[in-house]
Chains A and B, each alone.
Chain A
Amino acid sequence: MTKPYAAEPRDIFFVSNSVNEMGGITSWSHQMARLFSERGHRVHVVGIVPPPEGRVHELADDLPFRTTTLYSEHPPSVRPVRGLKDRLNVAEQRRRAAREAGMQQQAAKMSALFRAAKPGGIVIVTQVWAMEWVALADTAGLTVIGMSHESFETCRKSSRFGRVKRFYADVDRMLTLTREDADRWIRQRMDNVGFMPNPLPFFPDVPSDRSRKCVVSIGRLHEEKGVDLLLEAWARVAPQHPDWTLRIYGSGEEAEALRKLAAELGVTSSVEWMGRTSDVPGALRESAVFALSSRGEGFPLAPMEAMATAVPCVAFDVAPGVHEIITDGEDGFLAPPGNITEFARHLDTLMSDKDLRDAMGEAARENIQRFSTDEIVARWESLFALVER
């Protein structure tokens, strides 16, 4: 490891799509902003646009850092120009011009913020969409770090792929979530890529004792979270374990369909729909096994939290971040993506064997501390030092 850099206060900017949009990026950036503030850095969280309706994350009043949102409302969205037809579309062209002028204007606001920074300042761009504004702003004298908060594979299937390659090509460092993702970006000939894991959101004083016969799943009820796969797997193990229940925390557009599926699979009586919870630590403390059934992930926080609570996980190995967090057979189990037979087999193994649960749970609580906030902050500090050398 690099020696931890003797921290001197820096100006650190986080630039995201929004300051307070519900979701992983906001929780992560606010956690990091808080951690950096605690170490004496001057932190400023910048959002390009306000969050969309209904996706507002309520912020506390006493944030130890500044926040700024550039646009007061979302700028007009435009499609990229394709072919002659688009070029002749006057209305669309006008919209595009307006958008570009607006972008210059907002970037200028950002430039003013950046210019006020002392030498050694850092700009951390958490999403590539926001980078389009940072690219227009004046970042002279600052280090720009671009982040991709998702797995390489997920990004490759999305429109972000091309934009990451374009807008992050010249940043001082691009960061992915894991070494494996970084290597894949490097093979796309992005030679400025490193990686930075997410920090552990919390570390409870009291772990679970894994005696309550309950498997828990926490997440939005969205198809990406794969709760349908979890129910199918559950239907294979539930009959052998009549004293166990599956608790599903979360809400979302799939709620109705999933209840119907549970009924079709005949597991209604063993599944408890808990709705959204504000007490994740409490929910985890009451559980013995955590199930992560997602179809796609980056560096998921939920299993990290479960492991911190000494609850072993069963997960589909859908991203490098997942097997970075869970070591198969040591502090949890991994199944190939979509393989519900294997997923069910792993659930069954943990449900049938209290000793194994205990051993894996304790191992999980121990192992997950390599992502403790101290560790991750130290990594950031040495990264700041590296890009200055």
Chain B
Amino acid sequence: MPDVSVVVIVYNDADRLPTAVQSVLDQTLRDVEVVIVDDCSTDRSFEVAQQLAATHPERVRAFQLPENSGAGGEPRNAGIQHTKGRYVMFLDSDDVLEVNACRNMLEAAEDTGSDIVSGLCVRLHKDTRNQKRDEWYSWLYSTTRTIESVTELPDLFVWDTLSTNKCYRREFLIEHDLRFPKGMFYEDLMFIADAYLAAKRITLIPNQVYFWHVFERAAVKSVTNRRHEMTNYAHRLEIHRRIDALLAERGLSEMRLAKDVKFLKHDLVLHLRDLPFRDESYRREFAELSRDYLAGIAPEAYERVQPIQAICAYLLQQGDWDNLIPAVDTLINRDKVSSPLAEHDGRIYWCGGHFDDAFGRQVLDVTDIGYHEKPVNQLFLRNQLTSYRASGGSVTMAGRITNPLGVVPPDAGLKGVLEFSARRRSLQSFQFPVRTLRHEGDTVHWEATADLTAQLRPLGIVDTIWDVRLRLDVDGVRTTTRLTVADTPLAGGPPVRPRLTRMVADHLEPHASSKGHLAFRLVSESRNAERVQELITRGVRGTPGTLAKTGYRKAKALRKKVTSGDNKLRAYHEVFSRLPIKKRTVVFESHLGKQYSDSPRAIYEEMRRQGLDFEAIWSYAGSPKDFPKDVTLVKRWSLPYLKALAQAEFWVDNQSYPLKLTKRPETTYLQTWHGSALKNMGFDQPSLKAQTRQQQAEQQQSLDRFDRFLIRSEHDVHTLAKAFRLKERTLLRVGYPRNDALVRAREREAELGHRERGPLAAELGIPEDKTVLLYAPTFRKAGGRHGRFELPFDVERFADQFGDRFVLLVRSHYLNHVVLPPTVQGRVIDVSARHDVTPILALADGLITDYSSVMFDYALLDRPLVFFTYDYDEYVHEGRGTYFDLLEHAPGPVVRTEDEFHEAIKSFESQSLDYAKSRKEFVAKFGEYDRGDAARSIVDQFFAQWSR
């Protein structure tokens, strides 16, 4: 008895069949047999199969179905009947097995006694240059694991529905009479569902076992590529229904839910994406088919998919076509805002019209996505083409741009250009003015004429595809849109004259790209041009073309290499560092260039105040906005930045300049640092302790660049200075320059007998009579895509409870961000985007934090603090550990739950007195050197000689 039988099915694929069979014969496991089943091909497939059988009589047998069955199921069913091996696998004639597949499968099966062993399937795109590979649900196959029932891993059941990357115990197939459904597409889905549910034990292995060859450009597209066909969709739904029945029969509701989620995420999306490209009757039929099935989907499933997927499914079911088609645009183009959105009761909804349906409100609520907080330049707006007319050499177009929540104000100054650019980057682009721009309901209507024949001069051959963008200027702020073709008929393209003669092409032909956007293709209409095209194609595919292309790619790779990090480092060390030091230059940086803030800012401002004669260079990352105008700005990691650092006399920073930059001995590095430590830092962190000595030495090198290190208490000496292994002589016991303002604020308050509010209060629109609270939590690894930080309390409930007395400012760590619903407007304000926290601290009448070092600074103001440490145990034990027990030293109440938190806010005033003594002790322990003159004392010590 062979160890494994591989059933190879074939239909009109005589050429590739031998390769598939050979991949079985070449297996490292020797005792493997091949059973070929031909689905009554009309080509030589069966002949080839018989030849293979004749060549390998011991190992290959060939069979043929009496008539064509139309799908892969029947041949496989027949194949199973002929197998003799203890295990059975399936292989299609255009694919191959990995050479160790059978051995790995067999070993796993015998080790575990599993009925099914499944391995990684890899799709190889055979038409791409490097055979692009994508791994089929690889997350299921990251480790070897065995499950006693598929219910332990619903993801396997719903996602990996292939029958081919698996090895089945033959007895198991026979015993449970497992067969593929007859004459249906998606036959795998049903078979595998049956098999998974019947299996007593399933083992997954991370090995690649099956290479699925994908031929995108094949003339006859295979089943899965022809998904726009309605029968296809009908078959899919039918299979889903049968599987649902199977699950219902067994009472597997969890699995059903997982399957519903997959249907919304995957199956439905596949078909929805085609919808904008289909006609009315198709859409109607599609909706008809879907509606019934969607009605059976659990509402919980909608919560587990991406908002836009849930929205599309809901609108489809409701038959709301006006909103669905734009929503599909967002489904295809993830970041696009394709709906005007609607505000209702302080929440933001994808669209109006469904507010009376509670479920609809839940699905359409997009408040958390935060569209309402984004300025127009950060929104990718839908721009629907409404008319297209080509006449002579020009194209006249009109369209409407979605205006969500009136982000483009009615009185805004509007300007626009249409930009045609070659899809290949770094080639040319051409611009045409937009003639008309006006508001029309919740859209902005535009019209433009582009005289393409006269003004657009393509090169030809290298720039065959032209994309069109409309760049809209709203009061000087720019946003870019793409033109969605939708149902607008595109007829006629203007003639053009490529620079490489009209032999190569003579017209621009409009079409909709795969994402639904308007684009033009260079085509030739004259017969002559066709012949030239053919010549060119031959040239491009031939030796000279290949050489040219390789050359081009090499040049591109070289350019990339020259501007790579390694070469920049080399430029820094070998070129810039040999230039002379520029006297009286200081490079400032705060939080890796993300902010103009903190002690570097305080020192810089003190230097300016004293009128010193020096060149200030500030490093920025991201946007240079909000940095001072009268300094030299350099982008972090740019060549000017590296040059400035190499030649500077002083570095002033609060975190770290790029670790690999060596500091010249002539340069003085003032490390101000950015906060006293609660949690373990530097070499006190477990991750660094675990490092080898050599790795530690590399870290130490970057720390040894510090010439002076600012200290605000002896606590810093015992913690930071020790953890960074700093020498005593580098320590500068002067306090933090950024805190001078806080110390002065406190002194002034004592002097005046009352608290003064600076200009910030008015800027934020905070009424006189409200008490200001600041919530400033520490950094957390956020799960979301954009590092979104979930507030640990219900912000709407907070606003309702305390909004009449308090205004809550929320400041997330600079690497996190929060989204607030409009309901809390005026009562809760996000101040995360402000560079400098110090004025915010000075404004706040109370601070709520957890473990952020802001507590040490805020304490200087002698105002109430609340510690909301909802994840204390996790933070302290599972994290990197702390230097002291916060519970013991906290100068304010420590609360763990939202209710306790509310209690603490209620008794806010009385706490001010209760904790007065412990606040004093806290300041004495952690801020003894913060005396309000840090900036001046540093400037006196290092820069006094630069006075004019």
Q: Which residues of A line the B interface, CB within 8 A?
A: 1-2, 172, 179-180, 182-183, 186-187, 189, 191-192, 194, 223-224, 229, 295-296, 316, 318, 336-342, 386-387, 389
| Contacts A2-B110, A341-B881, A389-B3 given; does A223 touch B693 at CB 8 Å | yes
B686 near A336 (CB under 8 angstroms)? yes
Which of B103, B106, B107, B686 interacts with A338 by CB under 8 Å? B686
B658-691 interface mask toward A, CB cutoff 8 Å, 1 = contact, 0 = none? 0000000000000000000000000001111111
B100 within 8 A of A: yes
The minimal Cβ–Cβ distance linking B146 to chain A, given in whole angstroms, is 11
Tell me, in angstroms, the Cα distance from A229 to B691 when the chains sit together: 11
A295, B28: Cβ atoms under 8 Å? Answer: no
Q: A2-B110, A183-B142 are in contact. Are A229 and B206 (CB under 8 A)?
A: no
Report 18 cross-chain contacts, Cβ distance below 8 Å, ordered by A residue.
A1-B111, A183-B142, A183-B144, A186-B207, A189-B208, A191-B98, A191-B207, A223-B693, A224-B692, A316-B690, A318-B690, A338-B685, A338-B686, A386-B103, A386-B107, A389-B3, A389-B30, A389-B106
Contact with A along B85-127 (1 / 0, CB 8 A): 0000000000000111101101100110000000000000000
CA of A387 to CA of B110, assembled, Å:
14
Q: A174 → chain B, closest Cβ, in Å?
A: 11
Chain A, Cβ-Cβ closest to B99: A191
Instruction: Please name the residue on chain A nearest to B876 by beta carbon.
Output: A341
- CA of A295 to CA of B3, assembled, Å: 44
Say yes or no: is B231 at the interface (Cβ < 8 Å to chain A). no
Measured as residues with beta carbon below 8 angstroms from the partner, the interface class of chain B is 20 to 34
The answer, yes or no, to whether B342 is at the interface (CB within 8 Å) is: no
**What A residues does B28 contact at CB under 8 A?**
172, 192, 387
Taking CB atoms, residues of chain B closer than 8 Å to A336 are: 686
**Judging by beta carbons under 8 Å apart, are B107 and A339 in contact?**
no
Find out whether the CB atom of B111 lies under 8 angstroms from the CB atom of A338.
no
Cβ distance B294 to chain A, nearest Cβ, rounded Å: 38
**A186-B206, A191-B208 known, 4 other contacts, Cβ within 8 Å:** A183-B206, A296-B692, A338-B685, A386-B107
A residues near B144, Cβ cutoff 8 Å: 179, 182-183
The answer to whether A339 and B208 touch across the interface, beta carbons within 8 angstroms, is no
Name the CB-closest residue of A to B3. A389
Bound CA–CA A189/B119 (angstroms): 13
- In the complex, which of the residues B3, B98, B686, B687 has the most CB atoms of chain A within 10 Å of its own CB atom? B686
Residues of chain A within 8 A (CB-CB) of B689 are: 229, 337-340
- Expressed in whole angstroms, the minimum distance between the Cβ of A255 and any Cβ of chain B is 15
Residue of B nearest to A195 (CB): B144
Shortest CB distance A227–B (Å) = 13
A316 closest partner in B (C-beta): B690
Interface, chain B (partner A; CB < 8 A): 3, 28-31, 98-101, 103-104, 106-107, 110-111, 142-144, 205-208, 685-693, 877, 880-881
Given the interface contacts A336-B686, A339-B686, does A187 sit within 8 Å of B103 by beta carbon? no
* A295→B690 contact, CB < 8 A: yes
Instruction: For the complex, give the distance between the alpha carbons of A172 and B31 in Å.
Output: 16
A340 to B103, CA, bound (A): 44
Please give me the residue from chain B that is nearest to A388 by CB atom: B30
Checking A192, A296, A389 against B31 with a beta-carbon cut-off of 8 angstroms, the contacting residue is A389
Which of A194, A387, A389 has the most chain B CB within a 10 Å cutoff?
A: A389
**Residues in A neighbouring B693, C-beta threshold 8 A:** 223
Q: Which 5 A-B pairs have the closest CB atoms?
A: A338-B690, A338-B689, A338-B686, A337-B690, A339-B686
- With A186-B207, A295-B692, A389-B31 in contact, is A191–B104 under 8 Å at CB? yes
Complex: chain B residue closest to A335, CB-CB: B686
Q: Which residue of B lies closest to A337 (CB)?
A: B690
The residues of B that contact A183 with a CB separation of less than 8 Å are: 142-144, 206
Which A residues are in CB contact (< 8 Å) with B692?
223-224, 295-296
In the bound assembly, the distance between CA atoms of A140 and B927 in angstroms comes to 75
A323 → chain B closest CB, angstroms: 14
B709 to chain A, nearest CB (A): 23
Residue of B687, B688, B690, B693 with most partner-chain A CB within 10 A: B690
A337 adjacent to B686 (CB under 8 Å): yes
Q: How far is the CA of A232 from the CA of B142 in the complex (A)?
A: 37
Q: Using CB atoms, name the residue of chain A closest to B32.
A: A389
A288 to B144, CA, bound (A): 36
A84 to B98: give the CA distance in the assembly, Å.
39
Q: How far is the CB of B87 from chain A (nearest CB, A)?
A: 12
Give the docked Cα–Cα distance between A99 and B621 (Å). 52
| Cα-based distance from A186 to B106 in the complex (angstroms) | 16
- Which residues of A sit under 8 angstroms from B30, Cβ to Cβ? 389
For B687, give its contact among A1, A2, A296, A337 (CB under 8 Å).
A337
Is B110's CB under 8 angstroms from A339's CB? no
Tell me, rounded to whole Å, the shortest Cβ–Cβ distance linking B943 to chain A: 39
Interchain nearest-CB distance for A189 vs B (Å): 7
In the assembled complex, the Cα of A318 lies from the Cα of B686 at a distance in Å of 12
B187 to chain A, nearest CB (A): 28
Known A191-B104, A338-B686; judge A295-B207 contact (CB<8 A).
no
Within the complex, the shortest CB–CB distance from B89 to chain A, in Å, comes to: 15
Give the distance to chain B from A82, nearest Cβ to Cβ, in Å.
14
Which residue of B31, B100, B106, B881 is within 8 Å of A339 (Cβ)?
B881
- What is the CA–CA distance of A342 and B680 in the complex, to the nearest angstrom? 14
Q: Which residues of A contact B142 (CB under 8 A)?
A: 183, 187
**B693 closest partner in A (C-beta):** A223
Residues of B within 8 A of A2 (CB): 107, 110-111
Q: Taking the nearest CB of chain B, how far is it from the CB of A384, in angstroms?
A: 13
Chain B residues with Cβ below 8 Å from A229 are 689
Q: Is the CB of B100 within 8 A of A191?
A: yes
CA gap between A296 and B694 in the complex, in Å? 14
Closest chain-B Cβ to A72's Cβ sits at a distance in Å of 33
In the complex, how many angstroms separate the beta carbon of B421 from the nearest chain A beta carbon? 39
B29 touches A389 (CB 8 A): yes
Which A residues touch B690, using CB under 8 A? 295, 316, 318, 337-338
Chain A residues within 8 Å of B688, by CB: 338
Q: Give the docked Cα–Cα distance between A296 and B693 (Å).
A: 12
Residue in B closest to A190 when the chains form the complex, CB atoms:
B207
From A187, A189, A342, residue with most partner B Cβ within 10 Å = A187
A2 to B108, CA, bound (A): 10
Task: Compute how far the CA of A337 lies from the CA of B687 in the bound complex, rounded to whole angstroms.
Answer: 7
Chain B residues contacting A189 (CB-CB under 8 Å) are 208
Residue of A nearest to B133 (CB): A189
Residues of A contacting B143 in the complex (Cβ-Cβ under 8 angstroms):
180, 183
**Which chain B residue shows the least CB distance to A232?**
B689
**Taking the nearest CB of chain A, how far is it from the CB of B144, in angstroms?**
6
How far, in angstroms, from A2 to B104 measured CA to CA in the complex? 13
**What residues on A are CB-neighbors of B99 within 8 Å?**
191
Enumerate chain A residues within 8 angstroms of B98, measured Cβ to Cβ: 191
Query: Which residues of chain B are near A192, meaning CB under 8 Å?
Result: 28, 100
A187 and B206 form a contact (CB under 8 A): yes
Contacts of B111 in A (CB 8 A): 1-2
The answer to whether B104 and A295 touch across the interface, beta carbons within 8 angstroms, is no
Q: How far is the CA of A188 from the CA of B151 in the complex (A)?
A: 29
Residue of A nearest to B696 (CB): A223
Chain A residues positioned under 8 Å from B686 (CB to CB): 336-341
Complex: how many Å from CA A179 to CA B691? 25
Q: Which chain B residue has the least Cβ–Cβ distance from A186?
A: B206
Q: Which B-chain residue is minimally distant from A179 (CB atoms)? A: B144
Q: Which residues of B contact A386 (CB under 8 A)?
A: 103, 106-107
Chain A hits for B691, CB < 8 A: 295, 338
Interface hub of B3, B31, B100, B687 (most chain A Cβ within 10 A): B100
